[in-house]
A and B are shown apart, each in its own frame.
Chain A
Amino acid sequence: MERLHSRVLVQWSAGALVTAAVVAVVAGAITFVDPLSLSLPPIAVAGAVFGVVFVLGVAYAWLRYRSWRYEVRTNTLYIERGVLTRVETIVPYVRVQHVDSQRGPLDRLLGLGTVVVYTAGSRGADVSIPGLAAERATTLQERLRDLAIESEPTDAV
């Protein structure tokens, strides 16, 4: 079983930072308009909301990071993840249609990458593994591609 690269925590925490900022601005604006006439200081409320949301976000990112596992098995790709709902997915290589690797701006900055495995399924047709070290993302993509070709399905659908 492999884990994600720990730098993904930075990435997810950055996401939490953005969410916290947005929520804080909204909370501040509501306090400023003061529809319930509570006359609270908007800046302090915004700050407190930001702090709470950010801490929760980082905690969630940490739990999420801890829950992630994946394994390249002989015939299948095994993925395990989820904080509140734990999901263990198995993708047989025979069913893989194509494999993507994606690197967003933040990914590139942190030297991370995401591998996405596509199947012809209906729900959860694409399975992605985020937060891989850049070179690991490349090797994983190539390995999965080779395994998919090697296992030769008669008909992908």
Chain B
Amino acid sequence: MKLHPLTVVYRVGRRAVSLGWGVVVGFAGASSIPFVDRRLVVAALALAVLALVGYEVARYQRFTYALAGTTLELRSGVLSRREREIPIERVQNVDVSRTVGQRVIGLATVRVETAGGGNTEAVLECVSAAAADDLQTELRRLKRAAADAGDIESGDDVRAGGKASATTDATGETSEVVFGLGRRRLLLASALSFDVRLLSVVFVAQPVVQPLLAPLVGDLAGVTTVVALLVAVLTAVGLWLASAARTFARYYGFRLVRAGDDLRYERGLGRRYTGTIPLEKLQTLAVEETALERAFGYASLSVVTAGSVGSDTTGGSAAAVPLATRADVLALARDLEPFADATMERPPTRARTRYAIRYALGVAVLLALTMAVDALLTPVPYAWAPAVLLVLAPIAAHLQWRNVGVALTNDYAVVRRGFWTRRTRVLPHDRVQTTAVSATFFQRRRGLASVAIDTAGGDAVAPDYDAARAREIRDRVVERACAAVGARRGADDSH
């Protein structure tokens, strides 16, 4: 099969838009050099456009794809040719995205991910929207057929509880809407998505902005401060609105559907994304709560497969639920991976001492810098001001320490950390690839060590546990991992 012929138009158009600015600059530059003829510039441009069109036509001619039984075959390349065969069983995610331009002319880009490498393995740019849907469905059907043919797996895939009305789709599987994001919830999600840390930009900008404003608003005492304050507030609101708008556009019309062993999602305002996340390939779950969301009892959930790591096409990890109440998120997470509730174990309090000292040192460095600038280069008003931050060091340390946690159950490791964005990662033992205990020089001085648990869908690090406990956690995870994947259970080789 070939790509859609309009692909040439779309790609040339996109390239032309990005080149447009270059053209403007080129013209402006050329007119400032007296002996360069305008006509020459026009001729060069025309040549460039011709070459671009020629290349895109050749690319379109060369690009073919075919679903042949058990493989997806791709042939492409204008100068260097490439033939690629992807076994359908190995396919992880299939994502369809449609930019505004593509939606106007009815096209879509299909991305097929496997676990290999960091890049997307197959990018079909562009096919018609209908063909994209067909391809997505067909890939799923073939994958199921392939799995059924050599089925030796136990039927543990029937652990979903019917929540919404179940319907039957083209592949003969029942599908149910697991989660939909209504207009109100979307606005709320947008409002809460803000990372409060961005506000620090305002404080950093403040000392720069204030002296700049002084000559503009006059030297009246107080006025400068008021205006500066106003600017700071407006900047903060602007940052917040920008962040909200981004989330709004990203998750507009979000819907999560469960069809058999796959999760399907749809989202996006301008650029529309649809994708499938195969649950059998699920590597980790991550529950994320920003400080704001936590205050209001909300959380988001992402489902990570091996294919979605390192590819930003789906927005890093394939977000499964952008915002729901914490209880709903946990319920859905447990629906996907039935991890038991376990109490989180915190690092020892000497870890907190370490954080406090680290923050205090950070403040000291900042203080030394402002003092040095004050003494050597130019007078800085309130150069001692960073010292006030020292009061915050123990508080910050406590908050950081409080949000770290690790819990081991029979089938899962749960690792939590972060204050501004608290991430709770659920790692099934049978997905663990490697584990490592690491201790920096400073950690060793306090007898602390961090445990890193790596899966094909990202790793989780439990920081600053007692060195012996860290090794215990690691050994337990390895032991469970080996047992879970059915390794030979020989002599206990942990030390």
Q: Are A157 and B481 in contact (CB under 8 A)?
A: no
Inter-chain CA distance A107–B226, complex, in Å, is 68
Inter-chain CA distance A95–B310, complex, in Å, is 20
Inter-chain CA distance A75–B481, complex, in Å, is 11
* Additional pairs, 15, CB under 8 Å, beyond known A121-B433, A123-B459, A153-B486: A75-B487, A85-B439, A86-B444, A92-B478, A92-B481, A95-B485, A120-B115, A122-B309, A122-B310, A122-B454, A122-B457, A123-B452, A124-B454, A157-B306, A157-B456
Q: Are A76 and B439 in contact (CB under 8 A)?
A: no
Interface-central residue, B283, B434, B440, B475, by most chain A CB under 10 Å:
B434
Interface-central residue, A85, A120, A151, by most chain B CB under 10 Å:
A120
Q: Which residues of B contact A50 (CB under 8 A)?
A: none
Q: Are A74 and B434 in contact (CB under 8 A)?
A: no
Q: Which residues of B contact A76 (CB under 8 A)?
A: 478, 482, 493
* Contact partner, B458, options A85, A89, A90, A122, Cβ 8 Å: A122
B281 at the interface (CB under 8 A from A): yes
Q: Are B478 and A89 in contact (CB under 8 A)?
A: no
Count of residues in A whose CB is under 8 Å from the partner chain: 31
Instruction: Evaluate whether A85 and B438 lie within 8 angstroms (CB atoms) in the complex, with A73-B493, A75-B493, A92-B478 already known.
Output: yes
Q: Tell me the minimal C-beta distance from A70 to chain B in angstroms.
A: 13
Q: Which residues of B contact A84 (CB under 8 A)?
A: 440-441
Q: Mark B58-83, 1 if CB is under 8 A from A, else 0.
A: 00000000000000000000000000
Pick the 7 closest A-B CB pairs, nearest first: A121-B433, A73-B493, A121-B454, A74-B490, A89-B436, A120-B456, A87-B438
Q: Tell me the minimal C-beta distance from A69 to chain B in angstroms.
A: 12
B474 at the interface (CB under 8 A from A): yes
How many A-B contacts are there with CB distance less than 8 Å?
111
Q: Are A74 and B493 in contact (CB under 8 A)?
A: yes
Q: Are A120 and B493 in contact (CB under 8 A)?
A: no
Residues of A within 8 A of B (CB): 73-76, 82, 84-95, 119-125, 127, 150-154, 157
Inter-chain CA distance A156–B309, complex, in Å, is 16
Q: List 29 A-B contacts (CB under 8 A).
A: A76-B493, A84-B441, A85-B440, A85-B441, A87-B436, A87-B438, A89-B435, A90-B435, A91-B433, A91-B434, A93-B487, A94-B485, A95-B432, A95-B485, A120-B115, A121-B433, A121-B455, A122-B433, A122-B455, A122-B456, A123-B454, A124-B454, A151-B487, A153-B486, A153-B487, A154-B485, A157-B115, A157-B281, A157-B306
Residues of B within 8 A of A (CB): 115, 281, 283, 306, 309-310, 432-441, 444, 452, 454-459, 471, 474-475, 478, 481-482, 485-491, 493
Q: Are A125 and B487 in contact (CB under 8 A)?
A: no
Q: Which residues of A contact B491 (CB under 8 A)?
A: 74
Q: Which residues of B contact A122 (CB under 8 A)?
A: 309-310, 433, 454-459
Which B residue's beta carbon lies closest to that of A126?
B434
Q: Are B436 and A88 in contact (CB under 8 A)?
A: yes
Q: Are B438 and A88 in contact (CB under 8 A)?
A: yes
Inter-chain CA distance A90–B485, complex, in Å, is 16
Q: Are A121 and B487 in contact (CB under 8 A)?
A: no
Q: Tell me the minimal C-beta distance from B325 to chain A in angstroms.
A: 30
Which B residue's beta carbon lies closest to that of A84?
B441
Q: Tell me the minimal C-beta distance from A62 to chain B in angstroms.
A: 17
